[in-house]
């Protein structure tokens, strides 16, 4: 199963190393990890996706809670939260595939951000499943290289910083 965990941490030197080091030494299988400052510069938010079972997830959450700089750990559920990912993808641009390429970009609402005689670079945002589907379509057309951010996610109504006072 895939789990999305949102971690509110103090925005301090070495915190990311503490969190990622924990994954390594406890043998957690992390799919993606994104991190940046929040609206309050004193805190950063780390979004993690984990592959594993319920027990793996509980261990991850409980181990994270033991780190001194970690302030809130929440599991985000698909039906109550929003997930997005961004991808930059560079594809071969040739006379033969151009029409299909442009059409696919249009359907997926991918933004073309660079265009040259050999390659085309598109920016796609959406849920990971949409990104995956776009990659599948691009594969036969010739992917040159690509880069994904990993998931960022927010709960629809709950505000994580409210947990700070608890």
Partner 1 sequence: MTGAEILIQTLIEQGVTDVFGYPGGNVVDIYDALYRAQEAPRHILAAHEQGAAHAADGYARATGKTGVVIATSGPGATNLVTGIVTAMLDSVPLIAITGNVPTDMIGRDSFQEINITGVTMPITKHNYFVTDVRELADTLREAFRIALSGRPGPVLVDIPKDVQIAECEYTPAEALKPAVQKKAAQSEIDAAVKLINKAKRPYLYIGGGAASREMGAQIMAFAEKTDAYIGCSLMGLSLFPNAYERFLGMEGMHGKYASSMANHAADVIIGIGVRFSDRATGNAQKYAPQAAIIQLDADLAEINKNVPVDVGIVGDIKDALERIAQKCKAKHHPTWAKEIAAFRAAQAQMEAAAEKCSGEMYPAKLFRAINRLKTKDTIMVTDVGQHQMWAAQYSELYKPRHFISSGGLGTMGFGLGAAIGACVGTGEKAVLITGDGSFGMNLTELATAVTYHIPVVIVIFNNGVLGMVRQWQTLFFESRYAATGLERKTDFVKLAEAFGAPAGRAQSIEAFEALLQKAMAQDGPFVIDACIDKDEIVLPMFEADSSVDGIITQDPRQV
Instruction: Pick from 39, 41, 55, 118 the residue near partner 1 by CB under 8 A.
Output: 55
Round to whole Å and give the CA distance between 44 and 93.
39
Considering the complex, state which of residue 12 and residue 109 has its C-beta at the smaller distance from partner 1: 12
Q: At 160, is the secondary structure helix, strand, or coil?
A: helix
Helical segments of the chain, H only: 15-26, 54-66, 98-107, 128-138
Tokens of 77: 């559920």
The 23-42 contact track toward partner 1, x by CB under 8 A, reads --x-----------------
The verdict on 71 binding partner 1 (CB under 8 A) reads no
Round to whole Å and give the CA distance between 53 and 50.
9
The verdict on 13 binding partner 1 (CB under 8 A) reads yes
Smallest separation (angstroms) from partner 1 to the CB of 29? 17
User: Interface residues with partner 1 (CB under 8 A)?
Assistant: 13-14, 17-18, 21-22, 25, 55, 58-59, 62-63, 65-68
């Amino acid at each position: 199963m895939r789990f999305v965990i949102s971690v509110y941490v103090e925005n301090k030197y070495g915190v990311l190393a503490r969190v990622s080091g924990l994954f390594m030494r406890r043998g957690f299988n992390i799919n993606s990890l994104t991190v940046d400052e929040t609206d309050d510069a004193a805190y950063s938010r780390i979004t993690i996706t984990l592959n594993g079972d319920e027990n793996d997830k509980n261990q991850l959450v409980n181990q994270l809670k033991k780190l001194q700089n970690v302030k809130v750990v929440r599991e985000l559920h698909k039906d109550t939260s929003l997930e997005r990912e961004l991808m930059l993808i560079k594809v071969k641009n040739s006379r033969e595939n151009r029409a299909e390429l442009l059409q696919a970009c249009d359907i997926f609402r991918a933004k073309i951000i660079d265009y040259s005689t050999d390659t085309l670079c598109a920016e796609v945002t959406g849920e990971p499943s949409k990104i995956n589907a776009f990659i599948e379509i691009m594969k036969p057309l010739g992917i040159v290289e690509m880069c994904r951010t990993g998931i960022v996610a927010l709960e629809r109504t709950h505000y994580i910083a409210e947990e700070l006072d608890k």
